[in-house]
Amino acid sequence: MAIDFTLTKEQKELQKMARDFAQKVLKPIVKEADACPDPWKGFLMTKKAYEKAYELGLAYAFVPKEYGGAGVSNVDTQIAVEEICAVDPGFGCTLLVNGLGLMPLIWWGSEEQKKKWLTKATSDPDKDFIVSWVVSEPEGTANFDHPGKHPCGMQVTADYDKSRGEYVINGRKMWNSNATGWDQKGADINVVVARTDRSKGGKEGLSVLIVPRGTKGLRVEGILNKLGHRLTVQPRIIFENCRVPAENLIAGTEGNGDLAITKAFTWSGPVAGIAAVGVMRSAFETSLSWAKEYAAGGSQPIIHHQNVGYLLADMKMRIEAGRYLSWRAAHYLDQHDSEGMEAGALSKIYCGELSIEVINDAMRLMGINSYIKDYPLEKHMRDALCFPIYDAGNMGMQRRRLHGIMAHESYNPMALAQNLRQQFVKAMHGIDADPGHAVAGVTGKGKRRECASVSS
């Protein structure tokens, strides 16, 4: 059969390995790290678990085999990520961002760049090599594809110094997971999207550069103290005349930084989706166990009440729907070289927003006890609230991407259902970024408005 949800022997082994890691290595540190009032100290508590994940191949399994990775498929990634995120999605985010940072290098890098940087990532004797995807900015990132020249859209600049053959990076970034590294001197590889041409808009002026750990001019300025996902770390970082050689510009991304952003967040869409499924799954299992044991002062456990049974059934249906949408999106990416922008966005949006509904139902079932830290549901809700707003927020970026795809004259509503390749093109960018500005390939007329000056 062409459609088959049966896991292979290898996938079952991967699932067991990821589950054993999550339950035996990660779970024992989660409660203390999550409760730590200092987010930096909480993050450092995960280092041993990260080293074990690295040793097991979980940190860089997505890297092709010729560069030292396992070359796993997107579907295989789903299987492992669900097990990890069922225990803690913050730690899962740390692993995810390694992929967000390196996938643009895998897609667009030269052979020389791949051999240099990917091999470093997969052959670290200390087993703590970490990568950051440095895109988000304090002023906002949603309008990275704004048609206006600097300072519209992305604020961080990388000006080319021809005399020295270097790019000089200046500006501020924020929310960039892993960008601290383990010592607040930066990740081992910081993959930075910056404006390399100030005179052009977001569809032409952005590129992607590699900034190695310890590069002069890169500074961490404070750690963000978050509501949930507390086992992963996000800083404020500053670039002050930070110089990198010209060969650190990822070869095929010059002027295509917008496509790198979109494709990277497409790759991560189903991963974020299945992360939400993992959290929903844990919330469901907690509430199911509670319902089978708690009598609420009655003569028998509340599972015997119709309302409780129906509520649990509704939760389970939504979890299964989310899982298979994430699997489908991942399978589509595997079939089409990660050109699955619609599928990636659909799975990310749906599962993230669904997780809040499911966990809310779990809390309603459990009652007021779910609101105290003695039980895990309050943590699940704190973690779930992040899903709709991180990893290219559902309103600011993901839905806008879908809007651009669907508004384009080439859109085929049945492409995903029929497994037909649907190429994302630059004309799909820019919609909603500058209201009134006409977008090529999109039906309708508009008048471009000049961008007001914004302080960087």
CATH of the domain at 364: 1.20.140.10
152 and 60 within one domain:
no
Per-residue confidence (pLDDT) for residue 442, from 0 to 100: 66
Rounded mean pLDDT, 205-211: 98
Q: Is the pLDDT of residue 26 over 70?
A: yes
Q: Exposure of 395 by Cβ count < 10 A (0-12 exposed, 13-18 middle, 19+ buried)?
A: exposed
241 and 149 within one domain:
yes
The verdict on residue 318 lying in a domain is yes
Per-residue confidence band for 367, with pLDDT thresholds at 50, 70 and 90:
very high
Cα angle 87, 92, 93 (rounded to 5 degrees) comes to 140
408 and 287 within one domain:
yes
The verdict on residue 267 lying in a domain is yes
Q: Is the pLDDT of residue 454 over 70?
A: no
Positive/negative CA dihedral, 188, 189, 193, 196: positive
267 and 401 within one domain:
yes
264 and 204 within one domain:
no
CB 355, CB 384: distance < 8 Å? yes
The verdict on residue 367 lying in a domain is yes
298 and 228 within one domain:
no
What are the tens digits of pLDDT across the range 10-20? 999 999 999 99
Q: Is the pLDDT of residue 441 over 90?
A: no
238 and 135 within one domain:
yes
The verdict on residue 439 lying in a domain is no
CA atoms within 13 A on the CB side of 54: 20
Rounded mean pLDDT, 49-74: 98
Rounded mean pLDDT, 322-339: 97
What are the tens digits of pLDDT across the range 307-321? 999 999 999 999 999
Q: Is the pLDDT of residue 445 over 50?
A: no
Active site amino acids: 391
Per-residue confidence (pLDDT) for residue 437, from 0 to 100: 65
Q: What share of the chain has pLDDT > 70, as a percent?
A: 95
The CATH number given to whatever domain includes residue 59 is: 1.10.540.10
309 and 421 within one domain:
yes
404 and 280 within one domain:
yes
The verdict on residue 280 lying in a domain is yes
Return the SS3 of 102: helix
Per-residue confidence (pLDDT) for residue 435, from 0 to 100: 80
Per-residue confidence (pLDDT) for residue 453, from 0 to 100: 31
Return the SS3 of 128: coil
CA separation for the pair 324, 5 (Å, rounded): 9
CA separation for the pair 365, 287 (Å, rounded): 7
Per-residue confidence band for 440, with pLDDT thresholds at 50, 70 and 90:
low
Q: Which among 66, 101, 122 is the end of a domain?
A: 122
Outline where DSSP puts E strands in 115-203. 131-134, 157-161, 166-174, 189-195
Rounded mean pLDDT, 340-360: 98
At 183, give phi and psi (nearest 5°): -135, 15
Rounded mean pLDDT, 34-50: 98
Report the range of poorest mean pLDDT among 1-15, 123-137, 349-363, 365-379: 1-15
Residue showing tokens 């399978």: 331
Rounded mean pLDDT, 373-387: 98
The CATH number given to whatever domain includes residue 181 is: 2.40.110.10
CA atoms within 13 A on the CB side of 186: 22
Which helix (H) or strand (E) is 157 found in, with range?
A: strand 157-161
Residue 91's CB: how many other CB atoms inside 10 A?
25
Per-residue confidence (pLDDT) for residue 3, from 0 to 100: 84
* Alpha helix (H) residue ranges in 66-203: 74-85, 89-108, 111-113, 119-122
Per-residue confidence band for 1, with pLDDT thresholds at 50, 70 and 90:
low
Per-residue confidence (pLDDT) for residue 306, from 0 to 100: 97
Q: Is the pLDDT of residue 450 over 60?
A: no
Per-residue confidence band for 449, with pLDDT thresholds at 50, 70 and 90:
very low
What's the mean per-residue pLDDT of the chain? 95
The verdict on residue 442 lying in a domain is no
250 and 188 within one domain:
yes
Q: Is the pLDDT of residue 189 over 70?
A: yes
Per-residue confidence (pLDDT) for residue 76, from 0 to 100: 98
- Residues spanned by the domain of 206: 131-255
Total of domains in the chain: 3
Q: Which among 216, 237, 255 is the end of a domain?
A: 255
Q: Which among 201, 232, 255 is the end of a domain?
A: 255
Cα angle 143, 145, 149 (rounded to 5 degrees) comes to 95
Per-residue confidence band for 447, with pLDDT thresholds at 50, 70 and 90:
very low
Per-residue confidence band for 434, with pLDDT thresholds at 50, 70 and 90:
confident
291 and 409 within one domain:
yes
Residue showing tokens 């039980």: 375
Q: Is the pLDDT of residue 104 over 80?
A: yes
22 and 158 within one domain:
no
